Amino acid sequence: MLKRIIFMAAMGIALAALSFTALSLSRRWAWERDRAVEICVDGEELRSLLQNDREAMSRALTRLADLGVSSVAVYWPIAGAPLDGALGEWMPLLDGRLSLTLRPQPEPFSIASFEGDGPRLQRVKNLLVAGPFVPMHPHPSPFLRWAGSFPWKLPWTEFSRQAGLGFFVSQFPKRAVRAHSLDEEEMARAVPAQVIPRFIRAVRERGIRFLYVRFFPTLSPEQNLAYVESLTDALKGNGFALREAEARYDQWPRPRWDLPSRVRAAMALAAACLLPVLAMRWVTSWRARPSVSFFAMTVFSTAAALLVAALLSSPDFALGFSRFRGVKLALALPLGLLFLSLYPPSQIRDYWRRPLTVGTAVLFVLGGALATLYLLRSGHGSVVDAGAVEQEFRGFLEVVFGVRPRFKEFFIGHPLLWLGFYMYHHYGARPLLLAGFIGQLSIVNTFCHPHVPLAVSLVRTGHGVWLGSLIGIGLILLLRVWEKLRLGRTA
């Protein structure tokens, strides 16, 4: 009777989780279907490029509008100069299809400079603060009150180090738009062939909908316009529409009741850490063939990943106001839990009491180094970033597959898990199960980034599975050939 009650309760929880996942992900999928991308060019760089030739600037702006550019960034020094003057200088040059992105400088800041002409302010659609910090940071209340009096969108540049930006944008979540740009130093080192794929990747894989485009100081005006044209063609070729982006916080379909972001994050962390371990222990208990074990484990890991994605599906997470900070923990903790479940405490204790040999010491050092590298390489901006050769290979994979599969999955985790299930099925060996488990954790980790569209995560996971399976099957065939050769020598 007790087993039946436990079974029924487990089924009820599973059905509830399935319903919640399907409903949450369907809402998120609908929200992510927006394909509008806004391109904003730097007005001051355009002025410098054309040597302040107003006729040439007007022609260039018309051509940029023809290409699909939506706005021009205008800097506002606010050193006693009224806003009206900063805008009035650009108004005669603007094509009717172009709006303005206002870029106030952080200092010196004058409240008296807030005054501006109403009709001219109507051409302003975006507010994008310039400089290393938000005006009046760390006490920006007057600036916040002024910014709150206008309906302008607030592009939120990812990876920005601007002090106070996160707090500023978080005060107006309904006006936030995820943005991407390169700073002046990056542009000085880059070429269009590097920048365009970076912009496309940001839009397609990280939900960016506002691109702040700078010009190359070493290229001619015509070459820079050709660069913008190549960028717009690439965006259109990927199915994106070039027009003013919308602030879409309120467009997320809201349920009648919702969980607080911290509760969602805690539940997602628990699911990411525990469910793959439980699935692995269940699958290994079958002692089934490698193909059955691998694909069953992959199905369970993907189901856990989708539940995590559902828990993190809210506009706060998608736009970056709330962050899931358990990514590295969800990669490390399950490995430790699986190790403890695969190896009983008595076996670990007996092994620990053995005399230390050189081989064992080397194995521990190598294992520790690989584990450290495994954690450091997770996430953006890690201290152990990809080298030039790896970057080239990543670019190749992106060109071939559209969405690049993860190395931890197709090149390491999945092949080792195929081999691990083979060794476990035939010999009861478990070390490769632990190493191959990295690929399953990477599947879950892929869906722990709520700003990444679901379609991208699903495609990335699919490519990792089939590529990793091909390599894993190849490793098993090589092992079987070696086993036959060894048996032939001993016969």
**Amino acid of residue 125:** K
Highest mean pLDDT among 12-21, 55-64, 118-127, 401-410: 55-64
The answer as to whether 168 is a domain residue is yes
Which of 205, 227, 251 is a domain's end point? 251
Residues 279 and 155 in one domain: no
The answer as to whether 13 is a domain residue is no
pLDDT on residue 364: 59
**DSSP structure class, residue 214:** P
The answer as to whether 384 is a domain residue is no
Residue 35 has pLDDT above 50, yes or no: yes
Residue 209 has pLDDT above 70, yes or no: yes
Residue-averaged pLDDT of the chain:
87
Rounded CA-CA distance 45/427 in Å is: 67
Which of 231, 251, 271 is a domain's end point? 251
Please work out, in degrees rounded to the nearest 5, the angle formed at the alpha carbon of residue 270 by the alpha carbons of 268 and 272. 65
Closest CA to 155 of 317, 316, 39: 39
**DSSP structure class, residue 405:** P
Residue 261 has pLDDT above 60, yes or no: yes
Distance of CA 14 to the CA centre of its chain: 29
Percent of the residues in the chain that have a pLDDT greater than 90, as a whole number: 59
Residues 274 and 305 in one domain: yes
Phi, psi angles (nearest 5°) of residue 126: -135, 150
Residues 54 and 157 in one domain: yes
Residue 275 has pLDDT above 80, yes or no: yes
User: Percentages helix, strand, coil for the chain, rounded to the nearest 5?
Assistant: 65, 10, 30
Residues 239 and 368 in one domain: no
Residue 40 has pLDDT above 70, yes or no: yes
Rounded CA-CA distance 101/320 in Å is: 22
**H or E element at residue 19:** helix 2-31
pLDDT on residue 7: 63
Residue 294 has pLDDT above 50, yes or no: yes
**DSSP structure class, residue 408:** I
190: tokens are 């880059």
Verdict on whether the full-model pTM lies above 0.85: yes
Taking residues 211-226, report their average pLDDT: 95
Highest mean pLDDT among 207-221, 252-266, 369-383, 391-405: 207-221
Residues 230 and 369 in one domain: no
Residue 457 has pLDDT above 90, yes or no: yes
Which of 251, 268, 283 is a domain's end point? 251
Taking residues 308-326, report their average pLDDT: 93
pLDDT on residue 366: 62
Residue 386 has pLDDT above 90, yes or no: no
- The confidence band for 383, taking pLDDT boundaries of 50, 70 and 90, is very low
Residues 109 and 239 in one domain: yes
The answer as to whether 165 is a domain residue is yes
Burial class (CB in 10 A: 0-12, 13-18, 19+), 84: middle
Residues 157 and 65 in one domain: yes
CATH number (domain holding residue 128): 3.20.20.370
**DSSP structure class, residue 133:** B
The answer as to whether 107 is a domain residue is yes
Rounded CA-CA distance 300/298 in Å is: 5
| Strand partners of residue 104 | 76
Residue 120 has pLDDT above 90, yes or no: no
The answer as to whether 24 is a domain residue is no
Q: Is residue 406 a contact partner of residue 457, using CB atoms and an 8 Å limit?
A: no
Residues 182 and 77 in one domain: yes
Residues 184 and 316 in one domain: no
Residues 207 and 147 in one domain: yes
Burial class (CB in 10 A: 0-12, 13-18, 19+), 95: middle
Residue 444 has pLDDT above 90, yes or no: yes
Rounded CA-CA distance 90/54 in Å is: 10
pLDDT on residue 381: 47
Residue 292 has pLDDT above 70, yes or no: yes
Residues 283 and 408 in one domain: yes
The answer as to whether 207 is a domain residue is yes
Taking residues 227-237, report their average pLDDT: 97
Residues 273 and 405 in one domain: yes
- The confidence band for 204, taking pLDDT boundaries of 50, 70 and 90, is very high
Q: Which domain holds residue 185?
A: 33-251
Taking residues 39-53, report their average pLDDT: 95
Residue 151 has pLDDT above 50, yes or no: yes
Which has more confidence, 76 or 382? 76
* Tally of domains within the chain: 2
pLDDT on residue 44: 93
The answer as to whether 383 is a domain residue is no
